[in-house]
Amino acid sequence: MKLRIFTTDKQASRAAAAFIAETAHTAVRERGLFTLALSGGDTPAAMLDALAIEDAPWDRTHIFQTDERVAPRGDTDRNLARLEATLFSAVGVPAANIHPMPVDEPDLDAAAVAYAATLTSIAGSPAVLDLVHLGLGADGHTGSLVPEDAVLDVRDADVAVTGLYRGRRRMTLTLPLLARARTLLWLVTGAVKSDALGRAVVGDPIVPAGRVERSRAIVFADDAATLLLDLPHPHAPFPPPAP
């Protein structure tokens, strides 16, 4: 896992956006398209604003969701609502290339299977996404891989549905799909995330984020989020854990 540290959350967000755009150009040169999964929450707002003004090959980009709350279309609890209001309204991603999670379907398990099939139809079998953006909660959840939920033990599906978590069930990409992604990009800001980030960096399985594949992961963090990390000096890569 690589760690890039910035003084402020805005600097980290802008750098993450630039990295996504750069990765998109590389993917299009090498494979003809770019497959991207985006998370929700408050943290990525500045990253999405910065990404909207990046020079990226949006016409060759397919956008998926890393996770989504089970709520009706248009509900402000939906991660999709923020994506539509920021990124999608500002860039030229073809409507057919935007793939919202079907959380308004009555049969959520069948909807998860259908979303996995959509991933496979575009990203191969098994599906390999070019870049998955992940956030991090203070409790160590990432995407909607949440503490003490059966979704953490799913090994035979790329998409699954959680139990209730903070008042909502959620649909999420699973650990096996994350492990196959070419790049995992974490954006982590704020001191409240520092303990969870430290656990994720060393692969502590006590938190969901610690169970995510780390070999192809890069973290963009601000100083506040790294307060509890034992770094050799500021703004240096975190050393890998001992084997």
- pLDDT for the residue numbered 188: 97
- pLDDT for the residue numbered 238: 43
Most distant CA pair in the chain, distance: 52
Task: Pick 2-215's CATH classification: 3.40.50.300, 3.40.50.1360, 3.20.20.70, 3.30.465.10.
Answer: 3.40.50.1360
- pLDDT for the residue numbered 85: 87
73 has pLDDT over 90: no
Residue 154: band (very low, low, confident or very high) from pLDDT cuts 50, 70, 90: very high
Residue 86: band (very low, low, confident or very high) from pLDDT cuts 50, 70, 90: confident
Alpha-carbon gap, residue 64 to 125, rounded angstroms: 16
Q: What is the mean pLDDT of the chain?
A: 93
Q: Which residue has the tokens 């496979």?
A: 120
Task: Find how far residue 181's CA is from the centre of its chain.
Answer: 11
Name residues whose C-beta falls within 8 Å of residue 25's C-beta, 6 or more positions apart in sequence: 56, 57
Which two structure tokens, joined as six digits, stand for 142? 């990432």
Please tell me what DSSP assigns to residue 138.
Answer: T
Averaged pLDDT for residues 118-143: 97
SS3 86: helix
Which two structure tokens, joined as six digits, stand for 67? 């996770």
Alpha-carbon gap, residue 167 to 144, rounded angstroms: 13
Averaged pLDDT for residues 191-204: 94
Averaged pLDDT for residues 156-174: 96
Please name the helix (run of DSSP H) or strand (run of DSSP E) that holds residue 188, with its range, or none.
Answer: strand 183-188
Alpha-carbon gap, residue 157 to 91, rounded angstroms: 31
* φ, ψ for residue 231, nearest 5 deg: -85, 145
Question: Among the residues of 32-157, which ranges form H helices?
Answer: 45-52, 79-83, 89-90, 108-123
Which two structure tokens, joined as six digits, stand for 152? 């953490």
User: Using an 8 Å Cβ cutoff, are 132 and 213 in contact?
Assistant: no
